[in-house]
Amino acid sequence: LRDLTGAYAISAITTYEPHTIYAARLSSPLVIGVGEAEYILASDPTALMEHTKKVIFLDDYDVATITDTDCQIHNLKQGRPANHEAELLDYDNQQVLLGDFPHFMIKEIYEAPATIRNATLGRALPKQNIVKLGGLESVEQQLKYIDRIVIVACGTSYYASLVGEYLIEEVAGIPVEVQLASEFKYREEPFSRSTAIIAVSQSGETADTIAALKKVENFGVLRLGIVNAVGSTIARMTDAGVYCHAGPEQAVASTKAFIAQVTVLSLIALHLSEGRTKHFKPLLNELEDLPAKAQEILDSAEDIRVIAERYKHYRDFMFIGRHINYPCALEGALKLKEVSYIHAEGYAAGEMKHGPLAMIDESFPTFAIATNSTLLEKTYSNIQEIRARKGPVVAVATKGNNHIHNLVGNVIYIPETLEHTQPILLAIVMQLFSYYIAVARELDVDKPRNLAKSVTVE
Ligand code: AGP
């Protein structure tokens, strides 16, 4: 093992010791499930859930020697035994089973109301007018001196973080910069100690995000995590953090994790604002009402399926949005391309005239986010420009907006909500839209080609 370089998670057995398994990891995840008279190795605890909820997370340089009755762990770097206690994960067994759903993706989309509830449970307390984040209690003093936040993440988690940028800046008034973890790690930039870095990750095992955190290891900055997978590498390497509590996500396309991440980022924004913002009370109250609104969208999923069916044959798709819904457009495009293999681009609606409009014709539809906001009139103009080029448009609007039918044939409605909470409801709509297109194209929605659930290599 000392001769190996790079990242690995391996297990080996020899004919000389047929009752012993050796396992080791470096930068790639490896967990040991502790069952009834058995040990099971996996790269992700979700894979173990049907067998056991008791797991041991191995650290870098750990080597485990597992026999029929025993599991000893030695850390090669420290040259001594590693005493890892087995942890009991509180996953509900039902969460890893399909139940009556045909795919995990749709099952996980339907978990949106519960996801919002679980992320806010015991944290958003509108009656007491506070947001309580137990995971940040140990760093409360340091948080008071933070004047800049850098968020690092990949893929869907990156788009959730971009939504978080609007939330934290507008609600808490702290400047935020979101960076792709794969880019951040190669940049040289000035960092002051009053900067906090937040890693956002569903799996907690994404190699690029881990590398980004490692980069700032000796910078003396506060390292926080917004992680879904309990006990994962990122959860363990950060100083403090807030778990998403979304439960295991199994479809490769991230759905409920995005909902949970944006919900947690809203809570962090509220918490950092210390109540000193006009947004505090309305946002705190709205988070309580949001699960019911998410359910309303799911109850009309059939309308979205019917519209998706009309668009399944297109080769390209444009997603546009403004302000906090601009990152939603980016996420909508990612979702569509990963599950349906349709080329999709996300753009800030105001950018259309600066180039992308050239591509629009009757063969290039647009998914326009046109929900109630101070910028709605501007989005109408963008839609008109697209319609003038014969571009088909699907719009998402807020219930009660009848004017939109004068511009667009296909409209999907979401319930009235605050601008700051629209991304959560919009995400459900776009996830359903992508799902139904992929199913109509008879694709393997849960396991899109060329992709893995956790990207544990750089
Ligand atoms: C999302 O649908 C993707 N499959 C992917 O972009 C994912 O969000 C990304 O790899 C980051 O994963 P993480 O949240 O586990 O770090």
Which structure tokens are listed for 230?
A: 């309990």
Q: What is the dihedral of CA 438, 441, 445, 448, to 10 degrees?
A: -100
Q: Is the pLDDT of residue 49 over 90?
A: no
Stretch 219-248: mean pLDDT, rounded?
94
pLDDT in tens, 392-438: 999 999 999 999 999 998 999 999 999 999 999 999 999 999 999 99
Provide the pLDDT confidence category of residue 197 given band limits of 50, 70 and 90.
very high
Cβ of 233 closer than 6 Å to ligand 1, yes or no, is no
Which structure tokens are listed for 214?
A: 């490692």
Cβ of 431 closer than 6 Å to ligand 1, yes or no, is no
pLDDT in tens, 349-402: 999 999 999 999 999 999 999 999 999 999 999 999 999 999 999 999 999 999
Cβ of 247 closer than 6 Å to ligand 1, yes or no, is no
- Taking CA 103 as the corner, what is the angle to CA 242 and CA 396, rounded to the nearest 5 degrees? 70
Cβ of 155 closer than 6 Å to ligand 1, yes or no, is yes
What's residue 454's pLDDT? 83
Distance from the alpha carbon of residue 445 to the mean position of ligand 1, in angstroms: 15
Q: Is the pLDDT of residue 93 over 80?
A: no
Cβ of 252 closer than 6 Å to ligand 1, yes or no, is yes
Cβ of 44 closer than 6 Å to ligand 1, yes or no, is no
What's residue 7's pLDDT? 85
Q: What is the DSSP letter of 102?
A: S
How far is Cα 268 from Cα 324, in angstroms, rounded to an integer? 16
Stretch 33-39: mean pLDDT, rounded?
91
Q: What is the DSSP letter of 168?
A: I
Ligand 1 atom 9: the closest Cα is on which residue?
Answer: 155
What's residue 91's pLDDT? 72
How would you label 142-151 residue by residue, b for 16+ Cβ within 10 Å and e otherwise? bbeebeebbb
The more confidently predicted of residues 274 and 253 is: 253
Cβ of 203 closer than 6 Å to ligand 1, yes or no, is yes
Closest ligand 1 atom, residue 234 Cα: 16
How many C-beta atoms surround the C-beta of residue 121 within 10 A? 10
Ligand 1 pocket mutation pick from 206, 261, 457 by most atoms within 8 angstroms of CB: 206
What's residue 275's pLDDT? 85
Ligand 1 atom 6: the closest Cα is on which residue?
Answer: 155
Is residue 433 a contact partner of residue 304, using CB atoms and an 8 Å limit? Answer: yes
Nearest to 165 by CA among 323, 322, 379: 323
pTM value > 0.75: yes
Beta 222-227 vs 316-321: how paired, if at all?
unpaired
How far is Cα 455 from Cα 443, in angstroms, rounded to an integer? 21
Q: Which residues contact 151 (CB under 8 A, 6 or more apart)?
A: 161, 164, 165, 176, 177, 178, 179, 197, 198, 199, 200
Ligand 1 atom 4: the closest Cα is on which residue?
Answer: 253
Stretch 236-255: mean pLDDT, rounded?
95
Distance from the alpha carbon of residue 232 to the mean position of ligand 1, in angstroms: 15
Cβ of 340 closer than 6 Å to ligand 1, yes or no, is no
What's residue 97's pLDDT? 82
Residue 203's alpha-carbon distances to 27, 113, 211, 230, 452, in angstroms, are 14, 21, 14, 9, 11
How many C-beta atoms surround the C-beta of residue 432 within 10 A? 28
The more confidently predicted of residues 51 and 392 is: 392
Closest ligand 1 atom, residue 261 Cα: 14
What's residue 415's pLDDT? 98
On the CB side of 362, CA atoms within 13 Å amount to 0
Ligand 1 atom 16: the closest Cα is on which residue?
Answer: 201
Beta 316-321 vs 366-370: how paired, if at all?
parallel
Closest ligand 1 atom, residue 255 Cα: 2
pLDDT in tens, 142-188: 999 999 999 999 999 999 999 999 999 999 999 999 999 999 999 99
What's residue 278's pLDDT? 94
How far is Cα 382 from Cα 374, in angstroms, rounded to an integer? 15
Average of per-residue pLDDT values in the chain = 94
Is residue 164 a contact partner of residue 191, using CB atoms and an 8 Å limit? Answer: no
Q: Is the pLDDT of residue 92 over 80?
A: no
pLDDT in tens, 115-155: 999 999 999 999 999 999 999 999 999 999 999 999 999 99
Cβ of 339 closer than 6 Å to ligand 1, yes or no, is no
Distance from the alpha carbon of residue 164 to the mean position of ligand 1, in angstroms: 16
